[in-house]
Amino acid sequence: MVAMRIEAVQGDITTQDVDAVVNAANSSLLGGGGVDGAIHRAAGPRLLEECMELRRTELPDGLPVGRAVPTAGYDLPAPWVIHTVGPNRHRGETDPALLASCFTSALDVADAVGARRVAFPAVGAGVYGWDAAEVARVAVDAVRGWSGGVELVRFVLLGDDVLAAFADALSAP
């Protein structure tokens, strides 16, 4: 097994040259703001159509918090989008294990579809109210503890503060 490389960069997740981008989705899978909206806009209308079909068939009640599901990437450079729903602190979803599950479930899905290079946003650090430093610690620990065929995890982040939080987490033993 190849050792996984983990890195943090500032940038636009929708332009990454990877096999899969992870979408910080809401449970409806029908688009939203932030990273979710950006991915839906960049991927084009076929992404929404596929998400609507998932809701009609496999996920009539939406995607549960901490779980992940793949779709095609459509107009993105990445062939796959892996949607995961972070816990919403504003709704009392404060268990770090639920947040960690977003990262490990997305990696499980990436492995299942053959994605070797995966780009993640800071799931939960936006409108869902998690502190960037806590997200970074949970995400890095979850990724480091996961084993499978993914060779590169790239955290693609917006803002100097979030990038610094991930750099700190990555430099910790």
pLDDT one-digit tens code per residue, 13-62: 999 999 999 999 999 999 988 999 999 999 999 999 999 999 999 999 99
Nearest to 21 by CA among 123, 131, 136: 123
> Which residues are catalytic, by number?
36
117 close to 107: Cβ distance less than 8 angstroms: no
38 close to 69: Cβ distance less than 8 angstroms: no
- Considering all CA atoms of the chain, what is the largest pairwise distance in Å, rounded to the nearest integer? 44
Nearest to 7 by CA among 117, 134, 130, 131: 117
Q: Please tell me the CATH code under which domain 5-171 is placed.
A: 3.40.220.10
Q: What is the pLDDT of residues 80-127, one digit of tens each?
A: 999 999 999 999 999 999 999 999 999 999 999 999 999 999 999 988
Sorted by where each begins, the domain ranges of the chain are: 5-171
Q: What is the pLDDT of residues 53-93, one digit of tens each?
A: 999 999 999 999 999 999 999 999 999 999 999 999 999 99
Give dist(CA 20, CA 59) in Å, integer: 21
Question: What's the confidence (pLDDT) of residue 9?
Answer: 98
